[in-house]
Amino acid sequence: MKHKFLMTCALFLMVGTVLAAAPNRQVIYVGNENVTSGGYWTTDSAGTVTAFTGEGTPADKFIHYDAENNVLTLHNATIKKGLDYSESIEGGTYIFGSAIGVFNERGNAELTIKLEGTNTIAEVSNGIYVLTTSSSASNATLTIEGDGSLDASASQAGIWVQGNSCDAALKIENAKVTATLVDSYGGNGVIVQSAENSSASLTVDGGSLTATGSGATFAGIQMQFGFGTSGAGTPTVTVSGNAIVRANGSAGGITSNSSTPIQFGAGPGIIFNGKEGTVYGDVTLQEDLTINQGETLTISDEASLDMNGKTITVQSGGCLVGELTGSGTVKYAPTITTDSLPDGTVGTEYCQTFTAEGDASITWSITSGSLPDGLNLNETTGEIFGTPTMSGCYDFTLTASNDSGSDNREFSLKINEGGDGINDIVADSTLYVFSTKGMLHIMGTEAEAEVYDVRGVLVYCGTERTLHLPAGVYIVHAEGRNWKAVVE
User: pLDDT tens digit string along 324-367?
Assistant: 999 999 999 999 999 999 999 988 999 999 999 999 899 999 99
Distance CA 333, CA 70 (A): 46
Domain residue ranges in the chain: 19-274, 335-416, 425-487
How does pLDDT run across 294-316, given as a tens digit for each residue? 999 999 999 999 999 999 999 99
Does domain 425-487 fall under CATH 2.60.40.3080? My reply is yes
User: pTM for this structure?
Assistant: 0.79
Residues contacting residue 72 through CB under 8 Å, at least 6 positions apart:
28, 30, 35, 63, 64, 65, 66, 100, 111, 112, 113, 114
Distance CA 96, CA 82 (A): 7
The residue ranking higher by pLDDT, 112 or 471, is 112
**What pairing do the DSSP bridges indicate for beta strands 375-377 and 383-386?**
antiparallel
Domains 335-416 and 425-487 alike in fold: yes
Note if the bond before 268 is cis, omega within 30 degrees.
Answer: yes
How does pLDDT run across 387-427, given as a tens digit for each residue? 998 888 999 999 999 999 999 999 999 999 865 433 434 44
Q: Which of 257-261, 393-397, 430-434 shows the lowest per-residue confidence on average (mean pLDDT)?
A: 430-434
Distance CA 169, CA 191 (A): 10
How does pLDDT run across 215-255, given as a tens digit for each residue? 999 999 999 999 999 999 999 999 999 999 999 999 999 99
Average pLDDT, the chain: 91
Q: What percentage of the chain carries pLDDT values higher than 70?
A: 93
Q: What local confidence, expressed as pLDDT, does residue 430 receive?
A: 64
- Examine the pLDDT at 156 and tell me if it is beyond 90: yes
Q: Quick one: DSSP state of residue 415?
A: E
Q: What local confidence, expressed as pLDDT, does residue 321 receive?
A: 97
By CB atoms closer than 10 A (0-12, 13-18, 19+), residue 463 is exposed
Q: Is 217 left (phi over 0), alpha (psi -120 to 50) or beta?
A: alpha
Of 274-288, 429-443, 467-481, where does the model show the most confidence? Answer: 274-288
Mean pLDDT confidence for 130-153: 97
For 242-273, b/e burial (b = at least 16 CB within 10 A) is bbbbbbbbebbbbbbbbeeebebebbbbbbbb
**What pairing do the DSSP bridges indicate for beta strands 392-402 and 405-416?**
antiparallel
Q: What local confidence, expressed as pLDDT, does residue 13 receive?
A: 36
Q: Count H helices, E strands: the chain?
A: 1, 48
What class does CATH assign to 335-416? Answer: mainly beta
Mean pLDDT confidence for 276-282: 97
